[in-house]
Amino acid sequence: MHRTFAQRLVYDILRALARLVVVWFFRFRVTGRQHWPAAGGALVCANHQSYLDPPLVGLTCSRRMTYLGRTTLFENKLLAPIISFLDTIPIDREGGGLSGLKETLRRLKGGDMVLIFPEGTRTSDGQLQPLKPGFIAVARRSKVPLVPVALDGAYDIWPRTSPLPRGGRLAVVIGEPISAAEVSQLSDEELIEKLTRRIKQCLDEARQLRGRRRSGLQAFVADECRHVA
């Protein structure tokens, strides 16, 4: 997707500022960034703990990420300009979401990274919920790798029952991608099972990572140095 220089510059500035905020206030930790594809389309499949999840996953990647959002979010006059700037694809859940599906495929085939939450909705208890099969058609038709990702701590900071976020610690782990070739060889049941296993592995690692004691600034500097290296 073509973006102007101003769009790219503003996005990079906002991402850098957001990284500093989450590291400082939430002791944000990340590992597995070497698994992000350097180029080409990818379907990023993450667990869903809170409203914070889309930007948190996006902050871990040096490439720009595309998000999906309910069409009702675009009716909010304050939120609509922001999510439009972030290239969010509107999804009409009640209408079947056909136009959103077509746009998602177009972005993936055009080389974009698109974030989805295969659980379908935010978890009610912080645990990984069963994955819904809706992602399978997109994965097969787009012929791009699936990148498993897990967040931990977001549910504690902003559970479904809380109107506002609170303090806590956050961790994100990016797992080894499932290649397009693997996707084509697996049955639907096998693909769901394999992706579930990969996300669970990432979630276990994220919980361990979140429990380690180290200052947010130390974590940020160390992670950035590893990322550059």
Distance between CA 43 and CA 105 in Å, rounded?
10
Q: Residue holding tokens 């977001």?
A: 154
Per-residue tokens: 156: 């504690």
Q: What angle do CA 117, 164, 155 make, to 5 degrees?
A: 40
Closest by CA to 204, choosing from 128, 115, 146, 125, is 128
pLDDT bracket for residue 97 (50, 70, 90): low
Band the pLDDT of 59: cuts 50, 70, 90: very high
The CATH number for 220's domain is 3.40.1130.10
pLDDT digits (tens, 9 = 90+) for 9-44: 888 888 899 999 999 999 999 999 999 999 999 999
Q: Give the domain extent around 201.
A: 5-228
Which residue in the block uniquely carries the two structure tokens 């595309």?
A: 66
Task: Identify residue 105 by its one-letter amino acid code.
Answer: L
Residue 2 has pLDDT above 80, yes or no: no
- How many separate domains does the chain show? 1
**pLDDT for res 63:** 92
Collapsed DSSP state (helix, strand, coil) of residue 31: strand
- Which amino acid would we find at residue 119? E
